[in-house]
Each structure stands twice: as structure tokens, then as C-alpha cells.
Amino acid sequence: MFERLDDIKERYKELEKRLSDPETIKDQNTYRKLAKEHSDLAEIVRTYDRYLQVQKEIEENRQMLNDSDPEIRQLAKDELDGLEKEAHELEERLKILLLPKDPNDEKNILLEIRAGTGGDEAALFAADLFRMYSRYAEKKGWKVEILSAHETGIGGFKEIIALISGDKVYSRLKYESGTHRVQRVPETETQGRIHTSAVTVAVLPEADEVDVQINPQDLRIDVYRASGAGGQHVNKTESAVRITHIPTGLVVQCQDERSQHKNKAKAMKVLAARLYELKQREQQKQLSEERRSMVGTGDRSERIRTYNFPQGRVTDHRIGLTLYKLEDIMQGDLDEIIEALGTYYQAKALAQSTKAPQEEKRSVA
């Protein structure tokens, strides 16, 4: 590990020199690429530098344990305990920082929310979840663009798909995929009985052109007249678009824009993301169950979280975390849950990465 850290530190110094070179600055594409690599390595180098400094201080304090002055010996002993603890924490942090990065972490996402069991109450909760994620995005300075929405007559959504753009959106929201369960008294319930409903959430990394190649010959594109709210424009022009990807049978549609061209562009964005997800699933099937558990499958059929309104609590079942701050969470205060999930899955990945070399040694033996 430390040989690798030394190599990273040397690379970091090399990047600093190249970024200050006038020739590099002239070539903006090269400059951006090197600047990103420099930024990606910065935390590792800072943590490693601190680790080396702590190790140096540990050695100095160990030498002071032999001092003839008892007060200096006691001072050295007191400092040594804290330094050794910090060194251990820094070493564990370095192990996590050296884990392979998820290539999708930097990407924008397509957020798909669909009402499940529970009828109108599920549709209303789908709208609540969309507001929750929208408010979280607003806190992070991200942009939310609705690509497709199927509304109900009472303010809910049967389905809503949105593009969320910003800094490392997927890295923050990738563990939100799954079934979200709500327990509360619906507005339409006259006897005050608590109902349980479910909504599915899927977080898909936005696909780049290099991620998914779509052959136009594999597409069937149908246009039709939009339906629903829209005033005089509705049913006047064939602006709604339905795209079928023939090889996979995937179907996407969009009718939110008045322009057929804009609806087609949005539908293609959704199709590309779904094809990219399908491609990833096929790759994951080739991995072992243990390997897949490192990053989580994101299977939307998994019940991941319960929102209990009478008790004001939210429970994430994957990590056994319960918070009695439901109102804040529904207002987009999600950081505590998201960071706890990130820590949990990092720990699993770290355990798996240390287990793999041991298994390899046993198999060789």
C-alpha cells in the first residue's frame, strides 16, 4: 500500500509541475484533464502527508520515553497514545481512499419514481419523494429537469422521471434505488386507519455517447397527440413521442414539451440511461455474489426504507439506521442517511478487498 502511496505522491508532484507549465495552460483540454486528476489525488496526498508526519512524531515521542526527566517521559507517553490512535485512523482512511472508484460517481442521474402498491396514496407519496429529492438537490446546488411525468388528478404521480445535474450527483444518490415504504393515515381515510403504501425509486447514471451506442435502425419512433393538461395545445399537434428499442423491447415516451423535437431528445436521454443500466446489470451477472455485494445491486425490488408518519421516524433497513426527524428528511435533509450509507458500503468494499487477496493466496497454496 505504501509503495502505491509513494507513487501517487510522485504523480501528484509531476501534475503540479505540468499544470504550471505555460504550454499545458495553452491546451485547455489537456489542462482540464490534468487538473481533474490532480484534484482526484489531492485528498489521498494530504492524508498520506499527515500520516507520515504523525509517524515521525510517534518516533520522536518513543525516543523521549527514555529521557531522564519523568515529566518529559509522562508527556511523551500521553502524546503517544493520541498519535497512535490518529495513525490507525489515517491508515484506515487511506485504505478507503485507495479503493477503486465507481466510474459513474461523477455522473448526473436520471431519477425515476413510480407509485407501487397503495393506489392514490402511493401516487401522493411518489410526489412527496420527488419534492424531497428536489429540495435536497436545491441544497446541493444541483439542477432538476423533469423529463416525463404522469400525474394523477389529486396531485400525485403514477410516474415521474427527472434529470438531476451537478457535481457528483450519482455518488450521493446511488444508494436510493429500491422500494420506499410509507406508513401513514391517508387524507381520504375517514376512520383514521394507518395505511402502508410503496413507491419504487431508480437512480440511473446518465449515459454518455461513449457508454451506449444506439443504432437508429434499432428504433421504432411513433408520434401521437398529447393528452392531459395543456390547454388549447392538447390534441392539436402530434408532439408526443414514443420510442421502442427493438432488440431489448424497452419503451420510453415523452409528451411534456410542445415540440416534437424536444420530446424526442428527452425520450432518447431516458432510453440511453436505461440501456446503460441494462448493460451494467449484464456485467454484474458475470460477477460473484460477494463481488456484487461490494457496491450493492441497487435492485429496485428491495425494500430499503420505511417512512412512518405517526411515529415521525425514518428507518433504513439496509444499515439498521432509525432517525426520528421525518419532517426534516421530507424537506430534503438527507445528508445523515446518505453519509451513513456511504460509510457502510465503503466498509463492505474494504472488507471484500482485504478478503480477496487472502482467498487468492489460499487457492495458490
* Burial of 142: CB neighbours in 10 Å, binned 0-12, 13-18, 19+: buried
Tens digit of each residue's pLDDT (9 = 90 or more) over 4-59: 888 888 888 989 898 888 888 888 888 888 888 888 888 889 998 999 999 999 99
Which class for 96: exposed (0-12), middle (13-18), buried (19 or more C-beta within 10 A)?
middle
Mean pLDDT of the chain: 83
Give the C-alpha distances (Å, rounded to integers) separating 94 from 10, 36, 346: 16, 20, 12
Cell of 211: 457508454
User: When comparing pLDDT for 205 and 136, which is higher?
Assistant: 136
Q: Where are the domains of the chain?
A: 2-97, 109-210+287-349, 216-283
**Neighbour order of strands in the sheet with 240-245:** 219-224, 240-245, 250-254
With cut-offs at 50, 70 and 90, classify the pLDDT of residue 214: confident
pLDDT band at 1 (very low <50, low <70, confident <90, very high): confident
Looking at per-residue confidence, does 286 or 130 come out higher? 130
- Condensed to tens digits (0 to 9), the pLDDT of residues 110-161 reads 999 999 988 889 999 999 999 999 999 999 999 999 988 888 888 899 999 9
Is 1.20.58 the CATH classification of the domain at 2-97? yes
d(CA 356, CA 351): 9
CA distance 233 to 206: 31
Q: Residues 327-346: what's their mean pLDDT?
A: 93
What pLDDT sits at residue 353?
66
Q: Which CATH class is domain 216-283?
A: alpha beta
Give the residues across from 242 on adjacent strands. Answer: 222, 253
pTM to 2 decimal places: 0.67
Comparing CA positions, the residue from 51, 99, 113, 144 lying closest to residue 342 is 99
Quickly name the fold that domain 109-210+287-349 has. Alpha-Beta Plaits (3.30.70)
Which class for 69: exposed (0-12), middle (13-18), buried (19 or more C-beta within 10 A)?
exposed
Q: Which residues contact 79 (CB under 8 A, 6 or more apart)?
A: 57, 61
Confidence of residue 290 (pLDDT cuts 50, 70, 90): very low
* Predicted local confidence at residue 127, as pLDDT: 95
| Alpha helix segments (H runs only) across the chain | 2-19, 22-26, 28-64, 70-97, 119-140, 169-173, 260-285, 289-295, 326-330, 335-364
The angle at the Cα of 51, spanning 95 to 337, to the nearest 5 degrees, equals 50
Q: What is the pLDDT of residues 242-264, one digit of tens each?
A: 889 988 888 888 887 778 888 88
166-179 pLDDT tens trace:
998 999 999 999 99
- Whether pLDDT at 183 is above 70: yes
